[in-house]
Amino acid sequence: MPAPKGNKFALENSGRPKKWATPEDLKFEVDNYFEEMEHLQEPFTVEDLALWLECEIMTLLNYEKKKGYEEYFDIIKNAKQKIYSSWIKNGLTGKYNARFVEFVLSNNTRYSHKQEITHQAKNLTFITVLSKDEDKELIDIEEE
């Protein structure tokens, strides 16, 4: 059932309240995650960050990109960059399997393992290969 005409409740109410009231609250929790993982000498992952923050990965994506969360964008982007940077460094030093790091980064970031090749050709000649039957038919047509 639609809201009655003139209802202005939804204009300022975007639904569920934000999990973190301020960007500072989120930043504090993110910093705690990194400190704890460094202390435990555990790798950083976006999945573990979501578990630490007691939210789903989709919630992190909302806080990174969704309209209405602009003041949180940089916190999540910087956290993800720190995670991916640690993966790259550990992959380069041999601490992590480089192929696995490549797989994770190519599927979760803008990094890609594909090549795009552009080629321009001029004065192309096309050759049509005919079967023996087609060749005979063509000869018969030309003789007529």
Helix, strand, coil shares of the chain, percent, nearest 5, are: 60, 0, 40
Q: Tokens 């004065």, residue?
A: 123
DSSP 137: H
Q: Tokens 């976006």, residue?
A: 46
Q: What is the pLDDT along the chain (144 residues), one digit of tens a residue?
A: 666 777 665 555 556 788 888 999 999 999 999 999 999 999 999 999 999 999 999 999 888 998 888 999 999 999 999 999 999 999 999 999 988 888 888 887 877 766 677 777 777 676 777 677 766 666 666 555
The structure's pTM equals 0.66
CA 105 – CA 40 distance, rounded (Å): 23
- Per-residue pLDDT tens over the stretch 84-107: 999 999 999 999 998 888 888 888
CA 60 – CA 96 distance, rounded (Å): 25
* Cβ atoms < 10 Å from Cβ of 1: 3
